[in-house]
Structure formats: C-alpha cells, structure tokens
Amino acid sequence: MSNHFFKMKRLLLGESIATQDEHHERLSIPAGLAIFASDALSSSAYATEEILLIFIVASHMPVLWGNILAIPIAVSIFVLLAIVVLSYRELIRAYPGGGGAYVVAIENLGDMPGLVVGAALLLDYILTVAVSITAGVAALTSAFPKLLPYGVPLCLVFIAMMTYANLRGLKESARVFAMPTYLFIVGMAGMIVWGVLRVLLGFDPLYNPADVSVTVGTAQHISIAAVGGMIILRAFSSGCTALTGIEAISEGVQAFKEPAVQKANQTLAMLGGILGFLFIGITVLAMLYHVTPVHDQTVVSQIARCVFGTSPLYYVIQFATMIILILAANTSFSGFPRLGSFLAADSWVPRQFGIRGDKLVFSNGIMFLGVMAAILVVLFGGETHALIPLYAVGVFISFTLAQAGLFKRQLALPKPERGRNWYGQLAIIGIGTLATGVVSVVIGSAKFFHGAWMIIAAIPVLLFIFVQIRRHYESVQRQLTLREDAKPTTSQLSGKSHAIVLIANLHMGSVEALRYARTFSERVEAVHVSLNAEATQRLKAMWDEWGCDVPLHIIESPYRSLTQPIIDYITLLEEQYPNDTITIIVPEFVTKKWWHQFLHNQSALTLRLLLRWNRRAVVTSYRFYLDE
C-alpha cells in the first residue's frame, strides 16, 4: 500500500527535489513578478469598484460626482503606495534573509508586536485568497451570466487548483502564472491607453453603462460637506485594498536568484509602478465613461465593453482579469507558508508548518491555507463585497509595525555603519510609518462596524493560541533536557520485562504475537476481556492446544467495557512489579487492500490510543499481514 501511495504522490506532484538542488528553484525578476506581484496587480481590478460602491450605495450620490471624487482618492492611495514601496525597499536591504514584517517587528520591537504582525498577516493572507478567487469568479460571471448561480462551487474548484499548483513547487507554479500575469498587464495597459484616446478623439462609447441620472451641471452643486467625511474615509479605506500584496516580496527575498536583494528591490519597484498606472488608469476610465457598480457586472467589465464593445478583445480582457485575480491568490500561497515557517521556527505555531515537502515547499502551510480560504468563501457565499470590509486591516497593521521596527533599528545603528544616505533612509521609513499608521486607524474605524471588527477581534485570539503553543514547546524541552540524576543505576537496570498480549480471539495473528513476546520476555501472559460468556468458553477450550504454554488471564467485564478493565489490570501489575517494564502487545492484522480495513472493527487502534497515556507502560503493535 505504501508503494502505491508514493507512486500516486509522485504522479500528482512530480519528482521530488533534492535539498542541494534548491538554487535551481530560485526565481528571475520576470518570474518573481509573476509569483509575488499577482495579488497587488490584480487588486487594481476591484479597488476602483470598491471606492465607487461606497459613494453610490452609502451616500446615494449621483454617479458622475462619485466618479469625480474617486480620482483624488485614487491619487492619494497612489502616493501612499509610493511611500510603502520606498520604505519596503529599505526593509529588504536591511533584512536580506527574508521574513519581512514579522522578522523586523519581533527583532526590534519584541515578541508581542512581532506576533501581532504575524497574526495580522496570516489572517490577511487567508482573506487574500478568498477575495481574489471570488473577484476572479465575478469577472467570469460578468462575461457569462449563466454561471452566476454556480459562484461558490467555482470558487472552491479554483482554490483547489491553486493549492495543487503550489504543492508542485515554486518554479513550476511560476511557469504557470507568468503568461496570465503579463497578459493582464499588457491587456489592461492597452485598454487604458485606447480608452483615453477614444475620449480625446471624440469617439462614442461602444456600450452604455447603467443609466446616469445626473448631468455635470447638477453634480457641481454637490459639496464635499454634503458627502460626509466618514463616507470619504470609507471609500479611501476600501480603495486601500490596492496595496495588499506589496509585502510579499520582502518575505520571499531568498526565493530570488543572486543577487537576491537587488532583484527583489527591482521587482518591488516594477510592481509599484505598474500597479499605480493600472489603478489610476482604471479610475480615470470609470470617470470618463460614467461607469457605476452593478450587481451582475464588474466595473472593469463595463469599461472594457465601453472601449472594445463585444469584440474578442473584450473577452481577452475578461479572461486576463479572471485569471490574474485567481492567480493573485498565489501571493498568499507563497507568503503564508513562508511566514508560517518563520513562526514555526520560533515555536509560535505547530512545527509541522516549518517542514518542507518533496518539492521544497512548505506543504502543510499550503494545504492549511487552502482549507481556511475555502471555509471563508462558503461562509460569505462567495461575495467579494462581503469580504472586502475584512480586508486590508491586517496588512496595514503589519506595514506600520514593520516600519516602526525598521525605524528603531536605523536609529540604533552605530555611526560608522550608517552610510551616506542614512538620513534619507530614516526620513523615508519615518514617513512610511506615520502614513500607514494613520491609514490603519482610518481603515479600522471606517470599516469597524462593516466587518473589520472580526479581524481586530481575531488577532488577540491568535496571540493567545501562539503563546499557548510556545509554552507547550518550552515545557516539552524542559522535561526532555538531560539531567545528571537521570543516569540509570544498577538497581534500576535490574528490572525485568513483563509482556502482556491482549487476546480477543485465538488466531494465527494472536499465536505469532505470543511467540514474539517470548523473544524478549520470560514473563508473558495473555489477557482476555470477557464480553461474551460463550465466546470466552470457546477461547478456553482452544487455549490448551494453541496457547504456547502461556497463561491466560481472563478479566470479567459486566458492563461490556473493553478498555477500562485492561487499564485497571495494567495499573495493578505496575503496583506489583514497580521495577519492571510492562509491555502491552496489541495484535492486529493488515489487509492487502486499503478499503478492506474499513470492513473490520478498529479495537486495536482504540486500545493503542487509550494505553499510550499510561506513563510506565510500553504499547506496541504486532501486525499480521493478510495475503488476500
């Protein structure tokens, strides 16, 4: 069965990769952009829509005025993007080993701020997968409305595909993701340029968006005060989803080919420039074509119809948007497992998250992320707009604490190590810390009653779990540490082994287990719990012929309990033989076909699970393999 398992695993995931071949799996700048930048780039497809949705729904303002107000908000978000990119370039230089915000915060600010960053980013990575996949499916259903009722199943299928692709390895996933990423960049850039040119040349739109019930003249009579400061803040906070994913490159510096720091910084700069152009461009087109959010069609879909009509180019844009949004989840599938490995190395999460699989990826983190994102999609019915209010809170908390930690580190540098650009670097980091800190407060307050409270409440819960896991590992290490008084003395070595073979029925498996017990112990006995008087009598009758001269001890169980009488009997033996090792042998047979196992009771498994808590007893299985 094990051979079949490994053959199936190799068929699904490909050949294993040796540790010494890890350098071959590292990424170039184009591949790194495809792997780490898809989340940030794809957010340009829905960030503008989220801004417009707040203006239209929350304030009931006319479409044109909402589109006009979206421009300064988009520009302010672009400025914030530039600040964060510049600051994170300094972070990459300071921490070339990767780890990003978590490592910076925990080294410079202490455990608790570092854990806040870790918790915030873990939550945000899960949300990134859910939001990206649901937004991608929304792009698909915009082009093919008949698929709208199947939104959630489609989301789950795409999550499964992304999980599988990442389990196959980093380099292979880069090959899959590169073409759609660049198709999206070229397609959206082409749509922006041609869309603006069409307006400048006086061409009419090829599609009429939702009816615009206001003219430019009436829109001019609406004041900012009438809109309300909180509405503007909510629109700004929703648009800040465009910055999610920026941090992923800083966490995966070591995934790049050498010189890794230089390539990571170049990739981050390219990401910031492309993202800013796409985000501003889409927002401008939404204003020029008077596009408003509607239920069954995304803003990008409406813009593409205005620019390209229903020509094949429209479907190319929708296909590219759908694919990039779905592949945007890959940023989380790269970042979440890496962050999990850093947390596992510090014993804050289960150590299984720090183990690399056959393909040199953190398989446990990848699978955990896929499952959690799928649960989130089901709980929120696959609705992107329902998930957005939970989004971006965590990532801006991590931005702020990471930059605060980096600021503290820069201040603490000795003068000989500061370099010529020290003051400039310090200013960039300080401005970034202040800007993202203010935005964190804005997002948390503006979105608090719209879902952000869930994330804010979840972070302390995760902190509690982290601390409990760390305490457990520390306790284990303390108890396993060798002590001088633990060396066995002569009197302790004089004890004997007392073997007990648990017998349900007498068969070849039982007989071979008895023979095995005789190989290491002079004191062997068979123990049978009597649940049925007739069956016990038949066992006694057979024992004289096949018992291997081993005494049979029968324990009556009037309440038909199997495990408790055995545990009581073992406790009694431990009291009678305090220096002996009590070895409990549980015979079990192994079927040739895996599904045959489900046709038999699992009493041996139950006994092993219960007896393993006995401190002085050694529990072992004796397997009898069936040929058919």
The pLDDT value recorded for residue 229 is 66
Region 454-471 average pLDDT: 91
The whole domain housing 403 covers: 26-413+426-473
Please write the tens of the pLDDT for every residue from 99-146.
Answer: 678 888 888 899 999 999 899 889 988 988 888 888 888 878 877 888
pTM of the model: 0.70
pLDDT-derived band at 300 (thresholds 50, 70, 90) equals confident
pLDDT-derived band at 620 (thresholds 50, 70, 90) equals confident
Residues 257 and 200 occupy one common structural domain: yes
- Report, in this order, helix, strand and coil percent for the chain, each rounded to 5: 70, 5, 20
Inform me whether the pLDDT recorded for 474 exceeds 50: yes
Please write the tens of the pLDDT for every residue from 405-449.
Answer: 888 988 888 888 777 788 888 888 888 888 888 888 887 777 777
The pLDDT value recorded for residue 115 is 93
Which of the 8 DSSP states describes residue 166? H
User: Do the domain assignments include residue 10?
Assistant: no
User: Do the domain assignments include residue 438?
Assistant: yes
Inform me whether the pLDDT recorded for 521 exceeds 90: no
Please write the tens of the pLDDT for every residue from 25-53.
Answer: 577 888 888 777 777 787 887 788 878 87
User: Do the domain assignments include residue 17?
Assistant: no
For the domain that residue 36 is a member of, what is the CATH number? Answer: 1.20.1740.10
Residue 150 phi/psi, 5-degree rounding, is -105, 25
Please write the tens of the pLDDT for every residue from 141-174.
Answer: 877 888 888 889 999 999 998 888 788 765 555 5
User: Most confidently modeled of 327-331, 333-337, 485-489?
Assistant: 333-337
Residue whose tokens read 């501003």: 280
Number of structural domains (the chain) is 2
User: Most confidently modeled of 510-514, 560-564, 575-579?
Assistant: 510-514
Alpha carbon separation from 292 to 55, 62, 276 (Å, rounded):
10, 10, 21
Residues 454 and 510 occupy one common structural domain: no
Residue 99 phi/psi, 5-degree rounding, is 100, -25
Residues 100 and 159 occupy one common structural domain: yes
Among candidate residues 613, 619, 571, 601, the one with its CA nearest the CA of residue 505: 601
The pLDDT value recorded for residue 212 is 39
Helix (H, G, I), strand (E, B) or coil at 481: coil
User: Do the domain assignments include residue 90?
Assistant: yes
Residues 507 and 463 occupy one common structural domain: no
User: Do the domain assignments include residue 110?
Assistant: yes
User: Token pair for residue 252?
Assistant: 């995966």
CA distance 219 to 290: 12
CA distance 172 to 430: 39
CA distance 142 to 252: 34
The pLDDT value recorded for residue 9 is 46
The pLDDT value recorded for residue 278 is 92
User: Do the domain assignments include residue 418?
Assistant: no
Inform me whether the pLDDT recorded for 470 exceeds 80: yes
Please write the tens of the pLDDT for every residue from 66-91.
Answer: 567 788 888 888 888 888 888 888 88
User: Do the domain assignments include residue 250?
Assistant: yes
User: Do the domain assignments include residue 167?
Assistant: yes
For the domain that residue 557 is a member of, what is the CATH number? Answer: 3.40.50
